[in-house]
Structure 1
Amino acid sequence: MGGSKLREVRLSRFERMRGRLRRAYESGRESARARRPADPDERVASPSSPGPAAPPTATVVGAEPSAPVFASTNSQDDGEVPHALRLAAAWCWRLIVIGIVTWSLLKIVGTIRIVIIPLAVALLLSALLAPAVGWLLRARLPRSLATGVVLVGGLAAVIGTLTLVVNEFIQGVPELSEKSSQGVRQIQDWLKTGPLHLSDGQLNRYIDEAQSWINGNTEKFTSGALNTAATLAEVLTGTVLVLFATFFFLRDGSNIWRFLVRLLPVKARWKVDDAGRASWATLGAYVRATVLVAFIDAVGIGIFLVIFDIPFAFPLAALVFLGAFIPIVGAFLSGVVAVLVALVDSGPVTALIILGVVIGVQQVEGHVLQPLIMGRAVAIHPLAVIIGIAAGVVLAGIAGALVAVPLIAVLNTAIRRLAARTVPDTPPDAVVVASQAP
């Protein structure tokens, strides 16, 4: 009797537990159905309105029409605005934001250009000297020693070249001054006997006006000299910064780049790293190709200067070499200086011949050397080059013109790689962790 009561108690507990499990199961099913998106083919009747539900395309008499849904607007009021006007407004405010950000960046760059320009020059020198450091590293030299050897060797080459240029210039100045005086007298004779037929009184009056103008602008010249002194201090400070930055870029460039990439979100690191390495390769190719083109320009013009016995042949060739780092206009402007020296020293016929040589060298550079040496990797449209040089001159003078074109080349490569939909290659130093099989 007691055993039967015990079994009944156990069965009642079991039934209550089973009922609880069933209710929990039914509650879970109802919540899952509520979260599942409704199927338009299902006909689910509402408990408050029994009977079959109306199909999606049915018209319910007496019901209020539903409001139109605009996928591209946030409110019903935006739907009343024409699509073209909304699109134009969206473009306008985005362009305004981009313009404000660009203007702010230019103001910041203009404020700290004393730091930005030396760092940019250091990057150019690092891209030029990096292969030499790589050769010494493959020869088992320590990284610091290899970087120091390359930097000191490059600095010695620059100082030696400048010493030769200055010495030749000092030796040739007296002769050029004498010939300049003769040229001025020839010009005076031509003004008297030429088409203008100026008298001695007119010439003296023009000379007096020029002298009075110089005397009246002495203060401006003095302020310009003070500005030149300040500029000289900035150049010296920038030179020291260039040397230190170049050394550390050559020695620790990879570590610096990895540190900068790690500051970005994880999903963007590989993409940015791929674009940065491609941009660095473009910068190196551009600098090395520019050096080769500048050397060819300097040799070509220098040979004709030697053939026609023009004074300062080596300094003028060195000036052409430096000017060639500013594409399209640099070598031409430096060549014009050679033409003026030829005009003073040897007359108009020789000057016209040197001018033809300068123009010919420029044509060879633009149509043969640039496409052949630089190739498609750093091909930039001439209009972009001219605009970049003009903007660089306005923002930072000669240094800005020097940095503008390689900056455009680097940005061109970086934007193309970032906009590409391909997956970048795995970095060589990446660590891939594979899951073990169970």
Structure 2
Amino acid sequence: MGATFRGRAYAFQHRAAGLCSRSLGAVEDSSRRSVQIPIGVEIATAWAWRLLIIAAAGLLGIWFLRYFSEITVPVAIAVLGTALTINAVDWLEDHGIPRLAATFMVVLFMLLAFFGMLALVGQQLSTQVSDLKANVVEGITQVQDWAKDGPLDLSDAQLQSWIDDAKASISSSDTSLLTRIGEVGTTLTHIVAGFFIALFSAFFFLYEGDRIWSWVVALFPQAARERVHTSGQTAWRSLTAFVRATVIVALTDALGIAFAAWALGVPLTLAIGVLVFLGAFVPIVGALVSGMVAVLVALVAQGPWTALFMLLAVVAVQQFESHVLQPFLMGKIVAVHPLAIIIAIASGVVVAGVVGALIAVPLAACLNGVVRHLAVTAREFQSDPEELPPELGHA
């Protein structure tokens, strides 16, 4: 009897405690609702801290790349060279040549092509630069005559005063000769070191790039490796398509502008072609800026009318590139909006100068391909999760 009474008393106490806890919970919920944060603020806060973390990670990555630029820039150039020539190594291997020998042959061809272009430019400069200097001196004399006899009506004393001021401003630099020599020596050292880093990196990328990529993928967690591997393959396809299309576009720009310069009698035709070819690797602005060099040479050597026709030729070549070559060759594989290209080039210039502008657009093309690939993968997983590997849905 006593046990039954105690049991009932315990049950009553339990129910009372439950009622009290529910009452307190209701009071807490009511007070929480009375001070509830608006949903827009919650969403904005959730986005804000995530964006801050992403921005911090991006700034840390940019700092890392700039701090080790003597290594990262040559390696990036080696990756671009590998994307351009990897098919040649594979083709030679498929035809019975050992991969090591095939890699040596392709790297040797790359070196011969590079130094051949430099030798071509040097030969043109050595044979025609004296005539160009004479034209520059004659042009300066004509400008001086126009300043004296034209609407400015300047006197010889005023012209000489301006010339003396320019000379004084140039010679009054605080930088000593030894400091300049030291800076030049340091720059040359970095260039030589970067050249050999790029050379050896390209060799090993061509020879055993698959093994290197497998090692990189193995650094990621097991659940994410499949997605990292497929994203890397997508980025590589985008990069190879971009580099090969860019080479064709650059060659077309160089041939078109060089032919126009030759037809107009502009000196340094081959040197201009090489400069345009190298500049065209920076899309949209590279070939245009290097083409302006041809316009300036035409202005100095042949006068304003020849420079005008040279400018029209450069613009025509650029229009053909933008409206025919780029859409046809690039296609949807590396489709990047022109605004994104301009922003990428500007960001590359800010981060790493000319080299940054060279690397920025291929990087944007790779990121664009990876984002599109991951978006398609996510949609496929949502539509039919069983068709994808388990790690793709749980990474």
TM bracket (short chain) = 0.7 to 0.9
Gap change, CA 1:47 and 1:172, over 3 Å in 2: farther
Gap change, CA 1:96 and 1:346, over 3 Å in 2: same
Q: Which residue of 2 aligns with 1:152?
A: 108
1:178 paired to 2:134 = yes
Cα displacement string for residues 327-372 of structure 1 (whole angstroms, at most 9, x for unaligned residues): 1111111111111111110000000110111111111111111001
Alpha-carbon distance, 1:113 to partner: 1.1
1:278 paired to 2:234 = yes
Alpha-carbon distance, 1:228 to partner: 3.0
> For residues 257 and 306 of structure 2, what CA distance do their matches in structure 1 show?
13
> For residues 345 and 167 of structure 2, what CA distance do their matches in structure 1 show?
36
> For residues 208 and 155 of structure 1, what CA distance do their matches in structure 2 show?
46
1:290 paired to 2:246 = yes
> For residues 304 and 398 of structure 1, what CA distance do their matches in structure 2 show?
26
Q: Which runs of 5+ in 1 are unaligned?
A: 1-45, 54-59, 424-429, 431-438
Alpha-carbon distance, 1:78 to partner: 10
Gap change, CA 1:233 and 1:395, over 3 Å in 2: same
Structure 1 counterpart of 2:291, from 328, 331, 335:
335
Q: Which residue of 1 aligns with 2:258?
A: 302
Instruction: Give the TM-score taking structure 1 as reference length.
Output: 0.79
Query: Does the CA contact (< 8 Å) of 1:122 and 1:245 recur in 2?
Result: yes
Structure 1 counterpart of 2:159, from 198, 203, 211:
203
Q: Which residue of 1 aligns with 2:320?
A: 364
Alpha-carbon distance, 1:183 to partner: 0.8
Query: Does the CA contact (< 8 Å) of 1:339 and 1:352 recur in 2?
Result: yes
Secondary structure in structure 2 of the residue aligned to 1:67:
helix
> For residues 19 and 123 of structure 2, what CA distance do their matches in structure 1 show?
103
Cα displacement string for residues 223-245 of structure 1 (whole angstroms, at most 9, x for unaligned residues): 45533332211111000000000
Output aligned runs, 1:186-201, within 5 Å.
186-201=142-157
* Paired AA for residue 259 in structure 2: I
Gap change, CA 1:70 and 1:141, over 3 Å in 2: farther
Secondary structure in structure 1 of the residue aligned to 2:23:
coil
Q: Which runs of 5+ in 2 are unaligned?
A: 1-7, 382-388, 390-395
Q: Which residue of 2 aligns with 1:65?
A: 23
1:230 paired to 2:186 = yes
Query: Which runs of at least 4 in structure 1 moved beyond 4 Å after TM superposition?
Result: 46-50, 60-64, 68-71, 75-79, 220-225
1:90 paired to 2:46 = yes
Gap change, CA 1:78 and 1:322, over 3 Å in 2: farther
Cα displacement string for residues 42-99 of structure 1 (whole angstroms, at most 9, x for unaligned residues): xxxx99659xx9xxxxxx999953625999xxx9599632322222222222222222
Q: Work out which of the two has the higher radius of gyration on C-alpha atoms and give 1 or 2.
A: 1
Gap change, CA 1:68 and 1:89, over 3 Å in 2: farther
Query: Does the CA contact (< 8 Å) of 1:126 and 1:249 recur in 2?
Result: yes
Gap change, CA 1:94 and 1:77, over 3 Å in 2: farther
> For residues 291 and 70 of structure 1, what CA distance do their matches in structure 2 show?
68
Q: Which residue of 2 aligns with 1:381?
A: 337
Instruction: Give the TM-score taking structure 2 as reference length.
Output: 0.87
Q: Which residue of 2 aligns with 1:352?
A: 308
RMSD of the TM alignment (CA)?
2.6
Query: Does the CA contact (< 8 Å) of 1:272 and 1:418 recur in 2?
Result: no
Identity %: 42
Alpha-carbon distance, 1:124 to partner: 0.2
More helix by share: 2
> For residues 46 and 37 of structure 2, what CA distance do their matches in structure 1 show?
12
Output aligned runs, 1:410-421, within 5 Å.
410-419=366-375, 420-421=377-378
> For residues 153 and 202 of structure 1, what CA distance do their matches in structure 2 show?
57
Secondary structure in structure 1 of the residue aligned to 2:175:
helix
> For residues 267 and 69 of structure 1, what CA distance do their matches in structure 2 show?
44
Gap change, CA 1:78 and 1:132, over 3 Å in 2: farther
1:104 paired to 2:60 = yes
Query: Does the CA contact (< 8 Å) of 1:117 and 1:399 recur in 2?
Result: yes
